[in-house]
Amino acid sequence: MLPPVTVCIAALCSDHKEPRAVIAADRMVTLGNFIEFEHTVPKMAPASPFAIALVAGDSLIGNRIAQDVAQSVAASNPPVVEIARALAIQYEAARQTQLEEQILKPRGLNLGSYYTNHNTLNGQVMAMLDNQMSQFNLGVELLIAGVDPSGAHIHTVHNPGGTERLHDVIGYAAIGSGAIHALQSMIGFRHSRLADYHETVFRVYASKRRAEVAPGVGQDIDMAVISSDDTHWLTDGELEQLSAIYEDFESSTSQTLRQKLSNFNLGDGSPIAQGAEDGALAASTDG
């Protein structure tokens, strides 16, 4: 199954030795694994006062998982890892419920009757059901980022649930169809959790913009910075400033590259830019 359409990114950094988690997401929403549209509501759900869950895939299922966990931990404000583990367990339970509804219930079965009576069921039917159940994908990915007394942390939860992945060593993570583009961008920035706060905000923004080339990634963006004091949601004005900085960065990088290539000589001693122009001229003449 292909990754859910969207992109959600989180990166760790430090602001004067104070840990921060920077998060970003588009607003592309998926319903029922086949309807996609950009929504006006951010796909970020507070999981605690200092942790936020991001959802990729079926929004109804993913947000229900996040909301159920948020309600269960609201009074205790636990460490981020405990919230991540609760999300993984809730994810597994949601998958089991959906699996039972979609595969077993139409055949007059539930998980209890399936395992109780499997020896009496037709062998081919059993093999088919077992394969469908083992391959069942909930169509949801979760990312949680937050700050607690031990620092800033990032976890993800993927199908089939039950366990979570910790990304603190790398310092960033992404989910959704644009994840590979976002991760390649962060790798290119050589990002680590020790990076400067302002640089990290730009890197996360730039990585989301670069991920927009992936199928199903929307152009709208929401960003937030989580600290041990509060969560700051970037305003429209701040996002506009980042957009201008990003456009200048991409433009200056391209211009610098063209200048350097114009002075780069190949083995025949001619500049690479001139060689490209001669090749284009020859092609047009041959045509």
What pLDDT does residue 269 have? Answer: 62
SS3 25: strand
What pLDDT does residue 285 have? Answer: 47
What pLDDT does residue 280 have? Answer: 47
Give a yes or no: residue 1 inside a domain: no
Q: Is 207 in the same domain as 280?
A: no
Judge whether 204 and 223 are in contact, CB under 8 Å: yes
Neighbour-count burial for 138-171, b at 16+ CB within 10 Å, e otherwise? bbbbbbbbbbbeebbbbbbbbbbbeebeebbebb
The domain of 279 spans: 242-286
Q: Is 191 in the same domain as 256?
A: no
What pLDDT does residue 278 have? Answer: 54
CA distance 165 to 151: 17
Tokens representing residue 122 in the block: 């037709």
From 214, 234, 254, the end of a domain falls on: 234
Judge whether 25 and 7 are in contact, CB under 8 Å: yes
Indicate the pTM of the whole model: 0.85
From 210, 234, 258, the end of a domain falls on: 234
Give a yes or no: residue 2 inside a domain: no
What pLDDT does residue 263 have? Answer: 84
Q: Is 268 in the same domain as 228?
A: no
Q: Is 225 in the same domain as 249?
A: no
From 197, 215, 234, the end of a domain falls on: 234
Helix axis angle, 80-99 to 59-73, nearest 10°? 130
DSSP 176-238: STTHHHHHHHHHHTT--TTSBHHHHHHHHHHHHHHGGGSTT--S--EEEEE-SS-EEEPPHHH
Q: Which residue blocks in 75-121 are alpha helix, DSSP H?
A: 80-99, 111-117
Give a yes or no: residue 3 inside a domain: no
Give a yes or no: residue 146 inside a domain: yes
Q: Is 278 in the same domain as 226?
A: no
Q: Is 196 in the same domain as 218?
A: yes
Q: Is 222 in the same domain as 154?
A: yes
Q: Is 115 in the same domain as 227?
A: yes
What pLDDT does residue 116 have? Answer: 85
What pLDDT does residue 32 have? Answer: 58
CA distance 261 to 253: 12
Judge whether 20 and 14 are in contact, CB under 8 Å: yes
Q: Is 96 in the same domain as 115?
A: yes
Judge whether 24 and 233 are in contact, CB under 8 Å: no
Judge whether 33 and 42 are in contact, CB under 8 Å: no
What pLDDT does residue 262 have? Answer: 87
Residue 69 belongs to domain with CATH number: 3.60.20.10
Q: Is 201 in the same domain as 150?
A: yes
- Terminal CA-to-CA distance of the chain, rounded, Å? 45
Number of domains into which the chain is organized: 2
Give a yes or no: residue 209 inside a domain: yes
Give a yes or no: residue 117 inside a domain: yes
Give a yes or no: residue 38 inside a domain: yes
Q: Is 106 in the same domain as 183?
A: yes
Q: Is 262 in the same domain as 230?
A: no
Give a yes or no: residue 113 inside a domain: yes
pLDDT by residue for the chain (287 residues), tens digit each?
Answer: 667 778 999 999 999 889 999 999 998 876 655 667 667 667 788 888 899 999 998 888 999 999 999 999 877 889 999 999 999 999 999 999 999 999 999 988 888 888 887 777 777 888 889 899 999 999 999 999 999 999 999 999 999 999 999 999 999 999 999 999 999 999 999 999 999 999 999 999 999 999 999 988 989 999 999 999 999 999 999 999 999 999 999 999 888 988 888 888 877 666 655 555 555 445 444 54
